[in-house]
Amino acid sequence: MRNIVLVGFMGTGKTSVGKVLGQRLKRPVMDIDRMIEEREGRKIAEIFEKEGEVHFRALEKEAVREAAASQGAVLTTGGGAVVDPENLARLKETGILVCLAASAETIYSRVKNSKHRPLLKEGDVLGEIKRLLEARAPFYAQADYTLQTDGQSPVYVAKVILKKLQGKY
Ligand code: S3P
């Protein structure tokens, strides 16, 4: 059984939609960021602060390797995970990649009060979202499916995904 892998930018609803998919399909959900936090015993923001992004990416790569080795799971990834070509290849090998997308403005409204996103914590947050979205577009474009999530609830997005993927996983 193939994994269903949710990829896409921060604030596009990967975690919430992943939970709904897991319930509907009665499949385990593996969230890469939570795997890292559990293993390290601290939050992503703290890892970024104390050891920096390069170290976080190494931990992320390890967690992706482990998650991609499973079968028939719903995997939810951090927004930067598929920027690494090795991560992208591994996830694709065992899974169908669904990219959740949203406009910069929607993302901004969803993340502006969040304190756990080290890449978007200060300065011109909307500008940074736009810059990162553009830089990451070629990576997200490699997903098998892309869904726009602006104005949609996680339950609705999950339903659309299930319809699109019927018979494919
Ligand atoms: C990141 C996204 C975050 C988390 C880390 C880095 C990114 O996950 O992995 O803060 O590079 O886009 P979410 O997409 O779940 O917020």
Region 152-168: mean pLDDT is: 94
Beta strands in 53-158 (DSSP E): 74-76, 95-101, 145-148
pLDDT surpasses 90 at 168: no
Can you give the pLDDT at residue 14?
98
Instruction: Output the residue whose Cα is nearest ligand 1's atom 8.
Output: 78
Ligand 1 binding pocket includes 79 (Cβ within 6 Å): yes
Amino acid identity at 13:
G
Can you give the pLDDT at residue 112?
87
Ligand 1 binding pocket includes 13 (Cβ within 6 Å): no
- Among residues 98, 79, 102, 99, the alpha carbon closest in space to that of 149 is found at 102
Can you give the pLDDT at residue 116?
83
Ligand 1 binding pocket includes 10 (Cβ within 6 Å): yes
Over the chain, what is the mean pLDDT?
95
Ligand 1 binding pocket includes 117 (Cβ within 6 Å): yes
- Among residues 64, 97, 96, the alpha carbon closest in space to that of 78 is found at 64
CA of 62 to the centre of ligand 1 (A): 15
Give per-residue pLDDT as tens, 115-139.
788 888 888 999 999 999 999 999 9
pLDDT surpasses 80 at 169: no
To test ligand 1's pocket by mutation, which of 35, 119, 149 has the most ligand atoms within 8 angstroms of CB? 119
User: Could you give the CA distance from residue 102 to residue 12 in angstroms, rounded to a whole number?
Assistant: 6
Task: Report pTM.
Answer: 0.96
Ligand 1 binding pocket includes 33 (Cβ within 6 Å): yes
Can you give the pLDDT at residue 42?
96
CA of 167 to the centre of ligand 1 (A): 30
pLDDT band at 13 (very low <50, low <70, confident <90, very high): very high
Give per-residue pLDDT as tens, 82-123.
999 999 999 999 999 999 999 999 999 999 888 788 888 888
